[in-house]
Amino acid sequence: MEKKVAAVIVTHNRLSDLKLCINSVKEQSIQSLDIIVVNNGSTDGTKEYLEGLSDVITINQDNLGGAGGFYSGQKYMYDNGYEWIWMMDDDGIADKNQLKTLLNYSKKSGRLFLNALVASINDPTMMAFYKGHPIAYYQAYEIWEGDIHPFNGTLIHRTVIEQVGFIKKEMFIWGDEKEYKLRIKKAGYTPTTVTNAIHYHPEEKGIWKTVWPGWINKKILTKPKQLSKYYYRNLGYINKTYLRAYPRLCKDVRHYSLFFVRTLHFGELLKFLYYYNKGVNNNYK
């Protein structure tokens, strides 16, 4: 008998994307899975649509961000005895053999923390998050060890969750996936991308910008200003927890400060320093 999987999709006001995502999960070549959709307070008809699906389990909650959504999905999976959780955002589409390929590689290797290769939904020959990188480069290898792109077709065994706990739901967005990956890695598991398991996803929404003219290899990731505080706070927490050495003096602080001074964005600089420091102090109130 095939292993039981909880496929967890987190959604917020992207009904057309969600429909495509759910259909891609239903069309998997392995059928022994349940679909759980965490609806983060959608107001676009998502709740009503999900009520009409008898083969989908729905968790309706306030908008708690991706972190709060995946936390609820993980908890449901764990409390209900599933062996695996397969995680994705609503704007991704799983290749029909994705889950089968991940499970087969786990059976062969014993790996318990796996991810699909995330291809651009607009140009499937290119990576979604490594802009300009063809997927053929990675598919020259069966696996890519040490790094993954959660939560885009991420498969995690329940023994991993037993050891490291659930996602830090207070993070809301932008950083929860990195923190969880680092926490699992610290516990001794190897993040493994299985290159023949494909997940299609829009390209990175953040914009990489050069810190200072001429510093070609020194860039920062910028986020929309209305939500950037979450990114800054989570960055502070991650640097304090996993870098440990002088998180207030690390290169992220130097680079972001220089960039905001150079571009005369002093308000954003103050916001960065304030929320980054909150994260360093694990202050999520």
pLDDT tens for residues 191-217? 999 999 999 999 987 888 999 988 888
Residues 34 and 53 in one domain: yes
* Banded model confidence at residue 183, pLDDT cuts 50, 70, 90: very high
- Segment 74-84 mean pLDDT: 96
pTM: 0.94
In a domain, 285, yes or no: no
Integer Cα distance of 94 and 83 in angstroms: 20
Query: Side chain identity at 176, as an amino acid letter?
Result: D
Residues 75 and 34 in one domain: yes
Which pLDDT score is estimated for 215?
A: 87
Residues 169 and 269 in one domain: no
- Final residue in a domain of this structure, among 147, 169, 201: 201
Residue-range definition of the domain harbouring residue 267 = 207-280
Q: Rounded to whole angstroms, what are the CA distances from 236 to 123, 149, 265, 269?
A: 34, 20, 20, 14
- Say whether 278 sits in a helix, a strand or coil: helix
Residues 19 and 141 in one domain: yes
Tokens of 148: 């993954």
Which of 135, 148, 171 is CA-nearest to residue 88?
148
Residues 240 and 133 in one domain: no
Could you tell me whether strands 113-120 and 152-157 are parallel, antiparallel, or unpaired per DSSP bridges? antiparallel
Residue 63 has pLDDT above 80, yes or no: yes
Integer Cα distance of 57 and 52 in angstroms: 11
DSSP 8-state secondary structure symbol assigned to residue 92: -
Residues 234 and 181 in one domain: no
What mean pLDDT, rounded, does the chain reach?
95
Residues 47 and 14 in one domain: yes
* Banded model confidence at residue 247, pLDDT cuts 50, 70, 90: confident
Which pLDDT score is estimated for 3?
A: 61
- Segment 37-43 mean pLDDT: 98
In a domain, 62, yes or no: yes
Residue 1 has pLDDT above 60, yes or no: no
> Of 41-45, 151-155, 202-206, 236-240, which range is least confident?
202-206
* Banded model confidence at residue 32, pLDDT cuts 50, 70, 90: confident
Q: Which residue has the higher pLDDT, 91 or 208?
A: 91
Query: Side chain identity at 78, as an amino acid letter?
Result: Y
Left, alpha or beta for 35 (phi > 0: left; psi -120 to 50: alpha)?
beta
* Total structural domains within the chain: 2
Residues 233 and 271 in one domain: yes
- Segment 76-96 mean pLDDT: 97
CB-CB contact of 161 with 152 (8 Å): no
Which of 201, 83, 79, 228 is CA-nearest to residue 135?
201
Residue 274 has pLDDT above 50, yes or no: yes
Q: How buried is 223 (Cβ within 10 angstroms: 0-12 exposed, 13-18 middle, 19+ buried)?
A: middle
Integer Cα distance of 56 and 50 in angstroms: 7
In our burial notation (b when 16+ CB lie closer than 10 A, e otherwise), range 256-265 reads bebbbeeeee
Integer Cα distance of 222 and 60 in angstroms: 31
- Segment 104-123 mean pLDDT: 97
Which pLDDT score is estimated for 245?
A: 72
In a domain, 51, yes or no: yes
In a domain, 178, yes or no: yes
Query: Side chain identity at 150, as an amino acid letter?
Result: P
Residues 175 and 221 in one domain: no
CB-CB contact of 172 with 68 (8 Å): yes
- Segment 50-69 mean pLDDT: 98
- Final residue in a domain of this structure, among 144, 179, 201: 201
CATH of the domain at 153: 3.90.550.60
- Say whether 84 sits in a helix, a strand or coil: strand
Which pLDDT score is estimated for 132?
A: 82
Residues 106 and 147 in one domain: yes
pLDDT tens-digit series, residues 149-176:
999 999 999 999 999 999 999 999 999 9
CB-CB contact of 51 with 158 (8 Å): no
Q: How buried is 226 (Cβ within 10 angstroms: 0-12 exposed, 13-18 middle, 19+ buried)?
A: exposed
In a domain, 94, yes or no: yes
Integer Cα distance of 56 and 7 in angstroms: 10
CB-CB contact of 39 with 50 (8 Å): yes
CB-CB contact of 15 with 53 (8 Å): no
